[in-house]
Structure 1
Amino acid sequence: MSGSTLILLALAIPAAAALLIPLFHRLPNVREAVTLLAAGLLVVVVYSIVPLVFAGEVPMTGGLEVMPGVVIAFSVEPLGMIFACVASTLWIVNSIYSIGYMRGNNEPRQTSFYVCFAVALSSTMGIAFSDNLFTIFLFYEILTLSTYPLVVHKGDDAARIGGRIYLSILLGTSMLLLLPAIIWTGALAGTLTFNRGGILPETVPVAMVGVLLLLFVYGIGKAAVMPIHFWLPAAMVAPTPVSALLHAVAVVKAGVFTVTKVVVYVFGVDYLVSAGTAGWMMWLAGFTVIAASLVALRQDNLKKRLAYSTVSQLSYVVLAAAILAPLSLVGAAVHIAAHAVSKITLFFAAGSVYTAAHVTEVSQMNGIGRRMPWTMGAFAIGALSMIGVPPTAGFLSKWFILSGAYSAEAWLAVGVIVLSTALNAAYFLPIVYTAFARKEDEGYVKHHGDHGEAPLPIVIALTATAAGTILLFLFPGPLVALAESMVGIGQ
């Protein structure tokens, strides 16, 4: 099967699932079987493209001209291949988890939940395989609109307020900042098509380059660089599988993926180094990493602590891109995958605790690890990865980012990573200690009764992602090879 056909199938399979799922709204087992089948087929198709990329090919398709010079087209480069593999793989696991969570909590509107999830995955594939800035913008907006119903899924006042914040910030930044940046880039470069060396002509004034980069960084609101981050904690009113989608599978990863792609394929690393206009980006990302970690320290609500952790961890990718060293950019690409598998484990565990014990606060988790050893064991692995402790994937990405920072003598970045590692330990390790070492609150147990683990699909899913966090450290070869080929290492 040709590369162009595989790209179209990657877009079409989740879209077709979104059309089929409503037909079986009265048959939940069939409805969820459709979801799982589509997720499985998507993985097969996406991973079938990997050998083509390793062989040096650039699969492409499309070419639908919307207006002169504005084309919807797709191609596969190494960074997009990484993003597509991460999103498609985690869709299967998240679908298994969702079955246990949605049924275990008797959530309403489950059919619309699975439909919107499938549309979100189709748009994610569109982002991953975009050949130009217009195409990535188009699918970026579809992703925002398709995830809004998931954020407001519960339908209460808190969900509606959170949804308004989510939609207004993400649409506002993209329409007021990102779209003008894209139009301006097209006017300067005469093209919107991505190219590894960048597309901007050398005659563009340095000051203009800096302003354009600023528009892109803040226009890509899904990257959650402060102060464009409030949408992420606000969206925590959504069910946990949605939180996992936002933090691991699609939304925030689409943000940092797009930032990295713009740095490498629109500006070009050498161009930004010579222009010397990316220094502010390192300061901004470093501030976000530390400030979000300090806010996370003060959160008793588990999902909010995880949300601010995500804000911090996302800016590791932005920081790595701002260092402008080949190894740091490898670290940025690896961190997209490492953070995805680690953070989805943490959110799965949070949802498991809520489903089985109805616990939402860290202060309520005394001794819960003895009742839920699989859940909290997986949480511990995810937490260690966020800190960057081997043998977890988080260590791998931090190693590359630090190596790049040392090679570029970016001492600010080194200091940020060291300090944030200590802060990560400060807000994650107490949760693990509380869960396993402290005695249960007898009053709480008496009120909520005895409980064990959450439903089996939830436990299977979080165990799989925890295992994946370790396997990614033990067998990083393909991931690192793709990341290195993105910046031309070894070529």
Structure 2
Amino acid sequence: MEADALRIALALVIPLVGALGIGLSGRHPNRREAVTLVTAVLLCLTVLSLLPEVLAGGRPTWHFAEPFPGIAIAFRVEPLGMLFAAVASLLWPINSVYSIGYMRGNAEKHQTRFYVFFALALFATMGVAFSANLVTLFVFYELLTLSTYPLVTHKGNAAARSAGRVYLGILIGTSIGLLLLAIVWTSVLAGSTEFVAGGLLRAAGVQLSGPLLGLLLFLFMYGIGKAALMPMHRWLPAAMVAPTPVSALLHAVAVVKAGVFSVVKVIVFIFGIETLQGVPWAQWLLYVAGFTVILGSMIALRQDNLKKRLAYSTISQLSYVVLGAALLAPLSVVGAALHIAAHAFGKITLFFAAGAIYTAAHKTEVSQLRGIGWRMPWTMGAFAVGSLSMIGVPPAAGFISKWYLMAGALETGQLFAVAVIVLSTLLNAAYFAPIVFSAFAKPAADDDAVHGEAPLPIVLALTATAALTVLLFLFHQVPLELAGQLVGEPPGSR
């Protein structure tokens, strides 16, 4: 096996071996958590070892198997997949530290099962990120859904089981009923399911236009239910019954990012930006994404439960990525790719802070947070940083991605997209700024029992992700280089 193939194989095998090790050490919590941390760090180092070659223009490849003629399980590391895998693998060790503090601090049951399925979810995430074709993407997309289901239903109560049914029903229903049909149709049209720079359909000379092109785009976009385009978004707020580390996994590290990653990958590598430009039957996606951005923000504004507010914020923020891809401009696609990373760091910080508040103060509602900033300064300081990133204010990473999204909207003359970005930014401020203001500027209730921060692992983790949110703003050259290569810019051009 060549060195490139070996590193891709290791990125897939390490989480699997880690899951096995976690399961075998379940009776010894310290050993189990040590295995979790070592596995997460090894995966991160393995994934980052691929980065220099991708930045230099290389595309590491591994052809694993061809179970049926013309249907291969194969992997190729291209810039968008590299960015997604790097973000997920970098956040896993931090999430693991956080999980140790949270699961112990709240005396959660079935902790070994939790860590095992978390590792399996990262295995599936790596498979999605490095997929070389639609078949491989579909296999690992489904594995990601199945491996996260036990995490969503972790508490085992009626609410968790109900949320699990919604989660599986929507995600499996859309992928089997729509995405699989789109993949089969694409294979028939193009004679392949390979991801091709410039677009598979364009490279294969497929002459698909009018309503049929719009229908194929619809099957892909709504078949990728993890992207949470309305009305296929209900699974996401329903899944908030899970423990906070799972919410962080769903919203920042794996599931929703796999959704919007797949959306961008399909538009760029299956259809091709030039194929969809100026096609009236492809314009619907821009308006659906814009509608989801605005309505998600408006619903978030009405939520008093902190995790639900963050969940609807995620629905809105995900559609920034879809909006950027739907604008079909190089600058907007760069913004979409950058927003995958910016949202990951900012939103995981916000969920970490919500979990810290629950662990230390057992508060779950926004209306309960007045004055808490001075009693939990590290937590609420990190929350403020994450909020700035969601709003798009420097020096947080969200500013960079929104800048490119706005530039792409102006470049294409899409005033609708400009209006969506401006209005949603104001709405973001409306539902995040009052939380920070109330936490630091209003007095605490007389009976407030908050005595300090959450356990140290939780505080360390949320401080780290807040710092990464700022560092991504200051040092964004590497993700910008990867995003630039995605739209055809040569290595080192930025």
Residue 342 of structure 1 is matched in structure 2 by 346
CA distance in 2, matches of 1:182, 1:133: 7
Where in structure 2 are there 5+ consecutive unaligned residues? none
Any conservation in 1 of the 2:360–2:450 contact (CA below 8 Å)? no
* Cα-Cα RMSD: 0.9
Residue 462 of structure 1 is matched in structure 2 by 462
CA distance in 2, matches of 1:203, 1:141: 30
CA distance in 2, matches of 1:207, 1:263: 17
SS of 1:74's partner is strand
Any conservation in 2 of the 1:11–1:126 contact (CA below 8 Å)? yes
Query: Residue 73 of structure 2 aligns to which amino acid in structure 1?
Result: I
Residue 174 of structure 2 is matched in structure 1 by 173
**Equivalent position to 2:261, from 253, 257, 260:** 257
Q: Residue 26 of structure 1: CA displacement?
A: 1.1
* TM score, norm. by length of structure 2: 0.98
**Equivalent position to 1:223, from 223, 227, 238:** 227
* 1:357 to 2:361 alignment: yes
Q: Tell me the alpha carbon deviations over residues 126-175 of structure 1, each in whole angstroms, 9 at most, x when there is no partner.
A: 00000000000000000000000000001111111111101110000000
Residue 425 of structure 1 is matched in structure 2 by 429
Any conservation in 1 of the 2:189–2:206 contact (CA below 8 Å)? no
Query: Residue 298 of structure 1 aligns to which amino acid in structure 2?
Result: R
CA distance in 2, matches of 1:56, 1:423: 40
Q: Residue 450 of structure 1: CA displacement?
A: 4.3
**Equivalent position to 1:369, from 367, 373, 376:** 373
**Equivalent position to 1:292, from 293, 296, 299:** 296
CA distance in 1, matches of 2:50, 2:30: 31
Residue 210 of structure 1 is matched in structure 2 by 214
CA distance in 2, matches of 1:137, 1:310: 23
Q: Residue 63 of structure 1: CA displacement?
A: 4.1
Residue 417 of structure 2 is matched in structure 1 by 413
**Equivalent position to 1:310, from 314, 327, 337:** 314
Residue 61 of structure 2 is matched in structure 1 by 60
Query: Residue 209 of structure 1 aligns to which amino acid in structure 2?
Result: L
Q: Residue 451 of structure 1: CA displacement?
A: 1.7
SS of 2:62's partner is strand
Q: Percent identical across equivalent pairs?
A: 64
Structure-to-structure mapping, 1:25-424, within 5 angstroms: 25-200=26-201, 201-424=205-428
Q: How many residues align?
A: 487
Residue 472 of structure 1 is matched in structure 2 by 472
SS of 2:428's partner is helix
CA distance in 2, matches of 1:276, 1:481: 31
Q: Tell me the alpha carbon deviations over residues 100-145 of structure 1, each in whole angstroms, 9 at most, x when there is no partner.
A: 0000000000000000000000000000000000000000000000
CA distance in 1, matches of 2:470, 2:232: 32
CA gap 1:148/1:471 in 2 versus in 1, 3 angstroms: same
CA distance in 1, matches of 2:49, 2:6: 11
Any conservation in 2 of the 1:326–1:489 contact (CA below 8 Å)? no
CA distance in 2, matches of 1:327, 1:208: 27
SS of 2:406's partner is helix
CA distance in 2, matches of 1:278, 1:99: 46
Q: Tell me the alpha carbon deviations over residues 338-361 of structure 1, each in whole angstroms, 9 at most, x when there is no partner.
A: 000000000000000000000000
Q: Tell me the alpha carbon deviations over residues 335-389 of structure 1, each in whole angstroms, 9 at most, x when there is no partner.
A: 0000000000000000000000000000111101110000000000000100000
Any conservation in 2 of the 1:24–1:31 contact (CA below 8 Å)? yes
CA distance in 2, matches of 1:58, 1:400: 25
Any conservation in 2 of the 1:3–1:52 contact (CA below 8 Å)? no
CA distance in 2, matches of 1:487, 1:197: 9
Query: Residue 478 of structure 2 aligns to which amino acid in structure 1?
Result: P
Q: Residue 328 of structure 1: CA displacement?
A: 0.3
Any conservation in 1 of the 2:101–2:457 contact (CA below 8 Å)? yes
SS of 2:257's partner is helix
* TM score, norm. by length of structure 1: 0.98
Q: Tell me the alpha carbon deviations over residues 186-208 of structure 1, each in whole angstroms, 9 at most, x when there is no partner.
A: 00010000001111134223321
SS of 1:442's partner is coil
Query: Residue 190 of structure 1 aligns to which amino acid in structure 2?
Result: G
SS of 1:277's partner is helix
Q: Tell me the alpha carbon deviations over residues 431-467 of structure 1, each in whole angstroms, 9 at most, x when there is no partner.
A: 0011111111113x2xxx3420000000000000000
CA distance in 2, matches of 1:62, 1:243: 33
Q: Residue 489 of structure 1: CA displacement?
A: 2.3
CA distance in 2, matches of 1:63, 1:347: 37
CA distance in 1, matches of 2:468, 2:278: 39
Where in structure 1 are there 5+ consecutive unaligned residues? none
Any conservation in 1 of the 2:170–2:225 contact (CA below 8 Å)? yes
CA distance in 2, matches of 1:182, 1:142: 17
